[in-house]
Amino acid sequence: MKALIAILFAAAAVVLVFMVARPLWDEILMLRAESAVISDNLARLKEVEGLRDDLITTRNSISKSDLARLEKLLPPKSNTEDLLASFEDLTRARGIALKNINFSAESSSQQLLPATQATAGATAPSSQVNYSLSVTGSYEAFRSLLDAMEKNLRLIDMSDISFASSASSDGTAITYSLKAKSYYQK
């Protein structure tokens, strides 16, 4: 009889293990897997936080004048009014008449980030503003204008330059038509 009771208790223990302990064990395994995922996410978050801190430190180490120059190079918005004022100043300083300027619809483009981030395949979104302008002046003044545009902080991509002779009192005035685009942050 004692043996039968012992066998019943052993069988009850086995059944209890499969009915109670096994689901608890499965839940423990699931919680361990979730814990591993959370730990991995936490490690990634710490890495991103470190990168953010490095970027903040780098940005804070840049002088205010350099930040202003960077913002002029790739402004946060299209700033067509600033472009117009810049072209007026550039042409006036060289004795060239700015006849007209037409800004086209803005389009988006993808510019590659610096080489350290390009390996990850990351791209920084930027947009561009297309425009065409027409100026009248001498060839030397036009070359001076092109040199000034090349050295301008605001990036200007010239895509087309055409010219036509125009009648003037001294016969040296030429009308130049330019098509270009400039970029800004999206």
| Token output for 60 | 């804070």
Q: pTM of the entire structure?
A: 0.60
CA distance 74 to 157: 13
Report pLDDT for 22. 81
pLDDT band at residue 166 under the 50/70/90 scheme:
low
CA distance 38 to 152: 50
Report pLDDT for 120. 47
Domain at 73-185, CATH homologous superfamily: Ribosomal protein S6/Translation elongation factor EF1B (3.30.70.60)
Contact 135, 178 (CB under 8 A): yes
Cα distances from 150 to residues 90, 101, 153, in angstroms, run 11, 18, 8
Q: What is residue 161's DSSP assignment?
A: E
Ranges of each domain in the chain: 1-61, 73-185
Q: What is the mean predicted confidence (pLDDT) over 7-21?
A: 84
| Token output for 101 | 């300027």
CA distance 178 to 50: 46
pLDDT band at residue 28 under the 50/70/90 scheme:
very high
CA distance 159 to 131: 10
Q: Summarize pLDDT for 49-105 with one digit per residue, the tens.
A: 999 999 999 989 999 998 888 888 888 888 888 889 999 999 999 999 999 999 986
Task: State the average pLDDT for the chain.
Answer: 85
Whether the per-residue pLDDT at 2 is higher than 70: the answer is: yes
Q: What is residue 96's DSSP assignment?
A: -
Q: What is the mean predicted confidence (pLDDT) over 116-121?
A: 47
Q: Summarize pLDDT for 128-147 with one digit per residue, the tens.
A: 999 999 999 999 999 999 99
